[in-house]
Amino acid sequence: MKVKKKLVTGFTAAMVFSMLVGCGTKQEQAASNVEGGKLSGNLTVYTAIEEELIPKYLDSFKKQYPDVKLNIVRDSTGVITAKLLAEGKNTPADVVWGTAASSLLALEDKDMLQGYSPKGVERVEAPFKDDDQPEKWVGNTAFMTGIAVNIAELKKKQLPMPNSYEDLIKPEYKGTLVMPHPASSGTGFLTVAAWLQMMGEEKGWDYMKKLHENMGTYTHSGSKPAKLASAGEYSVGVSMVYSGVKEKQKGAPVEVVLPKEGLGWDVEANALIKKKEQKNRKLAEAFLDWAISDEVMKQYFNANGFATIKNDFKEPQGFPADVTNKLYEKNDLKWAAENRDEILAKWEKEFGQKAEPKQ
């Protein structure tokens, strides 16, 4: 699979959620130290990783570094990116973990990233890390969009199973669809950008107008459409593949369809924030080393059916087969980034009236 390597973009939204893992005093938060080869201190990590996955991923880090307290600030890709760009070089973040590589390159444009080659970076395949060394960003996995379908609802409404994006504009699906808002959801934006590339811009916008007629609402989360489909509030959700699989694993009557046109996607990656005073540099480097270690890479694979290193991991239960080969090969994220503002302005004008209220 050929992948564009240089990604530049950003998203706009407001910060709505913060989670603290471990609490420390102000003195503890001010600095980190190394005593007898043992790391301790306080590290602030910004992430867009799904909330329920964070403690699973961090379990091995906490075992390895029990004296390091992590302040985890978590939200959707668009919100985290907007927060970082607004804070600029005054951000309290030490590292960014599991956030779209396209967003990280927006930070690089603002000279907010410090190059660092984490231990084992040579294992990460070239399309999923920065071309330059030391790397400004290194990928863990990819997040991609599919179609989460509530088969019980389809049967009740006597609707056919959709197999493609083109199927979703058929009149029988009117009012049954939900998808993420592209301004607040990284999943939403990468989906819209992929459609414009798959179909061509003119046909892509025409497609979205027809899709809008069938759309119930646009959510501010990439995972929420799958959850709404799972609950039967809508029959079909254009959503993160991971989120659809998660609902199926819970026992919901959900099937995850990989549309035949291909999957829009982005790289979920990590980066070191540039600081005038690198008080937490040792901690930050240790975290970034851990973030691409074998143990956590397997966790990424179990959640997403994909990891950025060559591996022989067992396909996770319930995950659609052959996801890697169904990623849209011509997905040009640099083009999407360069045209982002124009895309979002046009999308908002045409379709924003069906967006769900922000909480």
Residue 74's CATH number:
3.40.190.10
206 plus 108 within the same structural domain: no
Q: For 45-64, write each residue's pLDDT tens digit.
A: 999 999 999 999 999 999 99
56 plus 26 within the same structural domain: yes
198 plus 51 within the same structural domain: no
The whole-number pLDDT of residue 35 equals 53
Please give the C-alpha separations between residue 211 and each of 216, 254, 336, in angstroms, as whole numbers.
10, 21, 20
The whole-number pLDDT of residue 11 equals 33
Q: Tell whether 47 is covered by a domain.
A: yes
Q: For 122-131, write each residue's pLDDT tens digit.
A: 999 988 999 8
Q: What letter does residue 309 receive in the DSSP assignment?
A: B
C-alpha to C-alpha distance for 181 and 12, rounded to whole angstroms: 11
What value does the mean pLDDT take over residues 115-139?
A: 95
48 plus 152 within the same structural domain: no
Would you place residue 358 in the very low, low, confident or very high pLDDT band (cuts 50, 70, 90)? confident
111 plus 197 within the same structural domain: no
153 plus 42 within the same structural domain: no
Q: What letter does residue 232 receive in the DSSP assignment?
A: T
Which residue spans within the chain are E strands per DSSP?
A: 19-21, 33-35, 38-47, 68-74, 95-100, 113-114, 138-150, 177-180, 215-219, 236-240, 254-257, 265-273
Provide the whole-model pTM: 0.79
130 plus 157 within the same structural domain: no
Q: Tell whether 199 is covered by a domain.
A: yes
252 plus 273 within the same structural domain: no
Q: Tell whether 311 is covered by a domain.
A: no
191 plus 130 within the same structural domain: no
Q: Which range (95-109, 230-244, 333-347) has the least confidence?
A: 333-347
Instruction: Determine contact, residues 227/168, Cβ cutoff 8 Å.
Output: no
134 plus 242 within the same structural domain: no
More confident residue, 105 or 292: 292
More confident residue, 155 or 7: 155
252 plus 283 within the same structural domain: no
159 plus 69 within the same structural domain: no
What value does the mean pLDDT take over residues 129-147?
A: 94
The whole-number pLDDT of residue 91 equals 96
Q: Tell whether 256 is covered by a domain.
A: yes
Look at phi and psi of residue 266 and say left if phi exceeds 0, alpha if psi is from -120 to 50, else beta: beta
Q: Tell whether 309 is covered by a domain.
A: no
The answer, yes or no, to whether residue 5 has pLDDT greater than 80, is no
The answer, yes or no, to whether residue 103 has pLDDT greater than 60, is yes
Q: Tell whether 281 is covered by a domain.
A: yes
CB within 8 Å of 277: residues ≥ 6 apart: none
The answer, yes or no, to whether residue 324 has pLDDT greater than 50, is yes
Q: How many CB atoms lie within 10 A of CB 63?
A: 9
The answer, yes or no, to whether residue 116 has pLDDT greater than 50, is yes
Domain carrying residue 232: 144-264+330-354
The whole-number pLDDT of residue 34 equals 56
Cα torsion 248, 250, 252, 254 to 10°: value is -10
What value does the mean pLDDT take over residues 247-262?
A: 94
Domain count, the chain: 2
